Amino acid sequence: MHEITLPAADGAGEFTAYVWTPKNKENAGAVVLIQEIFGVNDALRATGEELAAQGFMAVAPDLFWRQEPGVNLTDKSEAEWQKAFALMNGFDQDKGVEDLIVTLKAARALPGCNGRVGTMGFCLGGRLAVMMATRSDADVNVSYYGVALDNLAGEFNKIDAPLMLHIAEQDEYFPAEAQEKLLDALAENEWVDAFTYPGVQHAFARVNGIHYDARAATIANGRTTELLAELLE
């Protein structure tokens, strides 16, 4: 892993992005990894390492930099949860998307990248991945248990690249009624594949997370890898 520094689109400063590069492979596709409310933490870094092992570049920007650079929290303590929610509540999602678009453009130009770049986000990042599907030219977007996705329905007509959604059936932050509204809004959208995982909670694919479910995570990650390989290679 190495770090790069990128200029914010609004001119407010610079932010760090973390880059993982596959070994012994040239012209790789890249994935912009979008953080949860815990920052670019050890779990997200493990995902970056895994993507590199699969032959992709991975780039994870620090989206909380305007509030506190370098956030690295876990889901293991009440104090960390409180800090994570405070950061989320103070986060400007529109500016976050702008930072992600900067990161996307930078990823396309990285040495060793073949120019094809997608996004993959979790929780808050899962929501931002859907916003990238409607606001950016990413080649593919993958959302894991994104929150409040139903209230983005007004933007769904702007989706013009493949979007994969992984939905936790028992997601405590995205209840069944909201899930139903989301799926209804996307029912006729040919760009979107949505998968619901029965009996699992929010963050079922978080590495070493408290709600990690090995079976659901393996199935979801397999679907993701297949899609990324198809569209980024």
Domains in the chain: boundaries = 2-232
Q: What is the pLDDT of residues 170-187, one digit of tens each?
A: 999 999 999 999 999 999
- Whether 202 is a known active-site residue: answer yes
- In order, the DSSP letters of 78-101 are HHHHHHHHHHHHT--HHHHHHHHH
Determine the Cα–Cα distance for residues 162 and 8; give it in Å rounded to an integer.
27
Return the percentage of the chain with pLDDT > 90, whole number. Answer: 97
Question: Which pLDDT score, from 0 to 100, does residue 17 have?
Answer: 98
CATH 3.40.50.620 for domain 2-232, yes or no, is no
- In order, the DSSP letters of 158-184 are G--S-EEEEEETT-TTS-HHHHHHHHH
Which candidate in 75, 139, 202, 211 is catalytic?
Answer: 202
Would you say the pTM of this structure is higher than 0.85? Answer: yes
Q: What is the pLDDT of residues 8-67, one digit of tens each?
A: 999 999 999 999 999 988 899 999 999 999 999 999 999 999 999 999 999 999 999 999
- Whether 171 is a known active-site residue: answer yes
Which candidate in 171, 184, 193, 211 is catalytic?
Answer: 171
Average pLDDT over all residues of the chain: 97
- What single-letter DSSP state applies at residue 36? B
Amino acid letter for position 40 = V
Residue 109 clears pLDDT 90, i.e. is over it: yes
